[in-house]
């Protein structure tokens, strides 16, 4: 799966109430994501601004409507964001926790790989040391 915003669970739309200034944030719907993937320019209503729920990027209060499709469809943020695959029925908090677990699992897996490599290197060194010891022992006898 390509790691772009339309495939990410944290792609959100935001609306600010005029009288109170309260920010209302909600995830993009399946239909809106489908329209964005098919490059339909009006994939979300005009009064919404788009953002990453995890704070990687935000259109702000005066969004640039022309660059929306490129921003959510084509801009790969591999390794520079908190990408988590979209699941329609999942809330943001659950996705944040699962994303954190997945990231920790990847770090532990990488750490275990380095540990295994270190064990193989030390085993090889012990084997070479044993062979050298046997050669020296046979020369003395």
Q: Which two tokens stand for residue 122?
A: 């030390």
Task: Encode pLDDT of 24-81 as tens digits.
Answer: 888 888 888 888 888 776 777 777 888 888 888 887 766 666 666 667 777 777 777 8
pLDDT reported for residue 112? 93
Q: What percent of the chain has pLDDT over 70?
A: 88
Structure pTM? 0.68
DSSP for 60-116 reads: -SS--STTHHHHHHT---TTSS---B--TT--HHHHHHHHHHHHHHHHHHHHHHHHH
DSSP for 38-50 reads: TT-S-SS-TT-EE
Task: Say how far residue 38 (Cα) sits from the centre of its chain.
Answer: 22
């Amino acid at each position: 799966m390509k790691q772009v915003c339309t495939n990410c669970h944290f792609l959100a739309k935001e609306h600010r109430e005029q009288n109170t200034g309260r920010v209302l944030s909600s995830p993009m719907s399946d239909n809106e994501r489908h329209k964005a993937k098919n490059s339909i320019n009006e994939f979300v209503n005009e009064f919404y601004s788009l953002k990453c729920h995890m704070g990687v990027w935000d259109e702000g209060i005066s969004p640039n409507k022309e660059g929306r499709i490129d921003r959510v469809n084509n801009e790969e943020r591999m390794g520079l964001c908190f990408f988590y695959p979209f699941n329609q029925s999942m809330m943001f908090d659950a996705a944040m926790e699962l994303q954190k677990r997945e990231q920790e699992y990847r770090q532990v897996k990488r750490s275990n790989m380095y540990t295994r490599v270190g064990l193989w290197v030390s085993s090889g060194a012990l084997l070479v040391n044993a062979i050298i010891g046997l050669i020296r022992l046979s020369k003395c006898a």
